Chains A and B, each alone.
Chain A
Amino acid sequence: MERCRLVFCGSGGQGIVTAAIILAEAAAIHDGLEAVQSQSYGAAARGGVTRSDIIISDSEINFPKVVQPNILVCLTQESFTQFYSILRPGGLMLLDSDLVEPGMRVEARQYKLPMQRTVQQEIGTNVVLNLCMLGALLCLRPVVTKESVLEVVKKRFSERFLQMNEKALELGWSLAQESAPSSGDQRGSAPRPTH
């Protein structure tokens, strides 16, 4: 497989790091791949920009950080502004359509999905936004199998929260299935200045 480099970013408390751990653990433990996960964070427990790097590969991973991701997920405007430019041209960008307004053309397959709004409406809480994001991502780019992610979710969450997390994962998957990349997609078109 081609080495997959992902960056998830957002605000502390959105579950960015948890989602990254779930994805990397699914790859490493259940899909028999190599995976590393790390995060950068400030002094705040909530708020502020949080970023988590994941690399998934079928060979040994030495340098564990991501310099130029081929998948970038942004769940806040602030994190988008800080990190949109590191995405590899032609990479995949997943945004929450209510939380991020790109406002500029980015050379990427850009998916804007109302993930937070959907989990709020369907489940009644936005604490599972991270699992919804993961579901959408896996539908768009199956870096690991959904079954492996579900295995990890089962292991990591108590019975009480398991069902809502599983539901959020499925909601994200469905959202992505119905979507098409938005105007950010420039593959095949002439390159033009982005910023």
Chain B
Amino acid sequence: MTNKTNNKIAFVQGNEVCAEAALYAGAGFYAGYPITPSSEIMEHMARRMPAMGRRFLQMEDEIASLAAIIGASLTGHKVMTATSGPGFSLMQETLGFAIMAEIPCVIVNVQRGGPSTGLPTQAAQGDVYQARWGTHGDHAVIALTASNNQDLFEMTVEAFNMAETYRTPVIVLIDEVIGHLREKLQMPDPDELEVVKRLRTAVPHGVDYHPYLPREDGRLPMSDFGDKHRYNVTGLYHNMWGFPTTDPGVIDGLIHHLIDKIENNLHQITRYKEYYLSDADCVLISYGCSARSALHIVKNRRQRGMKLGLLELQTLWPFPAGLVREKCSGAQHIVVVEMNMGQVVHEVKRAVDHPERVYLANRVDGEFITPTNIKNVLRVIMGRGV
């Protein structure tokens, strides 16, 4: 290994990785309110951003934090905020606004035990459905996750790319274990990962700009708010000028646009990893920190001849049902490993051909699920006792 490469290996926490990846992706504005176990993201941004000539703001709460990054995004910046469950709850109304007004932004939720203030310093994965349905009304949403530093860097950059591509909030849903775990990160070179730039309108100053008129490909070019064009932004159903409307045709078109732009691109949005799936008769499905324990048990049992495989989901929403169905088609047993009372397991049951073969291996006492916890569930399923 050359010295040059060696210098680019850092030994850092997941939270710091998330912050560095945001800077790599071009985040120009961060607003937030600190909360365990996400605070290191904010601390890192507070140290790094002013030194890079970018803007950092500590807000009075999480509602204001998301509102602030929405405003900054409209003016042309790539933006991020980070929080944990209680803060993410406060953000739900504004999250809906960002979905409706089609504002690119990235929201990191480092999950801890809930509901309410719950378990501030311990791990859980109980916010998966909140990410999907926490804000009211029909909508589509993108949520990504990762189980190690290298993947977390890439997924955070992806989150920014998808936010720009689809003009939508993207949620990075990690957890206390990943946020606080220190391990190696090989810093990508500046041009190594694709970074999607803000799509700006070519409409010149003085010519009518329609902020909500999609192009043929469904994308909406933006105009930096306060710069060349005057336009309206609202959480109400709106027409192509951004002004409120109750016209049924326009309403129908907008709701379909908001959902289709994401659901129709499921294939482009889906990220996953697979291990030993080709001959697996038992498929584990997991994500985030739980996927580390799942991979540990898969490797361990493979040494003993068990045909165990792992499908690690990195895109949680929109849920990659077709992928799950395909990867599980030959499985006798499907075990979803997650740290909640069962969330992704319901989506898996809806996706596969044989929902009666789907089991949940979980842990909800604040402790990180161990390979032994999973092994015990596997033994019970296979009729071998614990």
The answer to whether A25 and B11 touch (CB under 8 A), given A39-B180, A41-B121, A43-B120, is yes
The verdict on A42 contacting chain B, using a C-beta distance below 8 Å, is yes
**Cβ–Cβ < 8 Å partners of B357 in chain A:** none
* A6-39 interface with B by 8 A CB criterion: 21, 24-25, 28-29, 32, 34-39
Residues in A whose Cβ lies below 8 Å from that of B295: 62
Known: A41-B121, A63-B296. A29 touches B9 (CB 8 A): yes
Q: Is there an interface contact between A36 and B182, defined as CB atoms closer than 8 Å?
A: yes
Q: State whether A62 touches B183 (Cβ < 8 A).
A: no
| CB atoms of B121 and A24 under 8 A apart | no
Which B residues touch A67, using CB under 8 A? 370, 372
Give A39's nearest chain B residue, CB to CB: B180
Q: Which residues of B contact A29 (CB under 8 A)?
A: 6, 9-11, 184
Chain B residues with Cβ under 8 A from A35's Cβ? 11, 183-184
User: Can you list 26 residue pairs at the A/B interface with Cβ under 8 Å?
Assistant: A21-B182, A24-B182, A25-B11, A28-B9, A28-B184, A29-B10, A34-B183, A35-B11, A35-B183, A36-B181, A36-B182, A38-B177, A40-B121, A40-B122, A41-B121, A42-B121, A61-B183, A62-B292, A62-B293, A62-B299, A63-B296, A63-B370, A63-B371, A64-B181, A64-B183, A64-B292
Give the nearest-CB partner of A55 in chain B.
B183
Closest beta carbon of chain A to B43's beta carbon, Å? 14
B276 at interface, CB cutoff 8 A? no
Question: What is the bound-complex CA distance between A21 and B10, given in angstroms?
Answer: 12
Chain B: CB-nearest residue to A64:
B181
Contact A65 B11 (CB under 8 A): no
Assembled-state Cα–Cα distance A35/B181 (Å): 10
* Minimum CB–CB distance for B121 against chain A, Å: 6
Asked whether B202 is an interface residue with its Cβ less than 8 Å from the other chain, the reply is no
- Among candidates B1, B11, B182, residue contacting A38 with C-beta atoms closer than 8 Å: B182
User: Is B368 in the interface zone, CB < 8 Å from A?
Assistant: yes
Is the CB–CB distance between A38 and B371 below 8 Å? no
Which residues from chain A contact B10 at a C-beta distance below 8 Å? 29
The distance from the CB of B78 to the nearest CB of chain A, in whole angstroms, is 30
Point out the residues of chain A lying under 8 angstroms from B120, CB to CB: 43
By the criterion of a CB under 8 Å from any partner CB, how many residues of chain A are at the interface?
Answer: 22
Question: 6 nearest interchain CB pairs?
Answer: A63-B296, A62-B296, A25-B11, A37-B182, A62-B295, A36-B183
Q: Are A65 and B370 in contact (CB under 8 A)?
A: yes
B9: chain A residues at CB < 8 Å are 28-29
Q: Categorize the interface residue count of chain B.
A: 20 to 34
- Give the residues in chain A near B183, CB-CB below 8 Å: 28, 34-37, 61, 64
Cβ-defined contact, B181 with A63, below 8 A: no
| A28-B177 Cα distance, complex, nearest whole Å | 19
**Closest Cβ–Cβ distance, residue B287 to chain A (whole Å):** 14
Query: Which of A21, A34, A41, A65 is B184 in contact with, Cβ under 8 Å?
Result: A34
Partner-B contacts on A (CB < 8 A):
21, 24-25, 28-29, 32, 34-43, 61-65, 67
Q: Which residue of B lies closest to A54 (CB)?
A: B182
In the complex, the answer to whether B181 meets A38 with C-beta atoms within 8 Å is yes
Q: Which of A32, A62, A67 has the most CB of B within 10 A?
A: A62
Given that A43-B121, A63-B370, A65-B368 are known contacts, is A38 also in contact with B180, CB under 8 Å in the complex?
A: yes
Interface string of B1-23 (1 = CB under 8 A from A): 10000100111000000000000
A124 to B148, CA, bound (A): 41
Q: Bound complex: CA of A66 vs CA of B3, how far in Å?
A: 32
Q: When the two chains form their complex, are residues B121 and A63 in contact, meaning their CB atoms are under 8 A apart?
A: no
> How far does the alpha carbon of A38 sit from the alpha carbon of B260 in the complex, in Å?
41
Bound-state Cα–Cα, A24 to B370, Å: 21
Query: Nearest Cβ distance between residue B110 and chain A, in whole angstroms?
Result: 14
B contact residues around A41 at 8 Å (CB):
121
B1 touches A32 (CB 8 A): yes
Most buried by A among B9, B183, B371: B183
Alpha-carbon separation in the docked complex, A61 to B113 (Å): 25
- Interchain CA distance A29-B9 in the complex, whole Å: 7
Residues of B within 8 A of A25 (CB): 11, 182
Cα–Cα, bound, A64→B148 (Å): 10
CB distance from B90 to the nearest CB of A (A): 20
CB-defined contacts of A37 to chain B, threshold 8 Å: 181-183
CA distance A64 to B299 in the complex (A): 15
A29–B10 CA distance with the chains assembled, in angstroms: 7
Bound Cα distance from A68 to B79, whole angstroms: 43
Give every chain A residue within 8 A of B122 (Cβ-Cβ): 40
Cα-based distance from A32 to B180 in the complex (angstroms): 22
Considering the complex, give the chain A residue whose CB is closest to the CB of B11: A25
Can you name the residue of chain B whose Cβ is closest to the Cβ of A29?
Answer: B11
Select from chain A the residue with minimum beta-carbon distance to B368. A65
Cβ-defined contact, B293 with A24, below 8 A: no
Q: Which residues of A lie under 8 Å from residue B177 when comparing CB positions?
A: 38, 64
Residues from chain A with Cβ under 8 Å of B6 in the complex: 29
**A21 — nearest CB in chain B belongs to which residue?**
B182
- From A28, A32, A39, give the contact of B11 (CB < 8 A): A28
Residue on A with the closest CB to B10?
A29
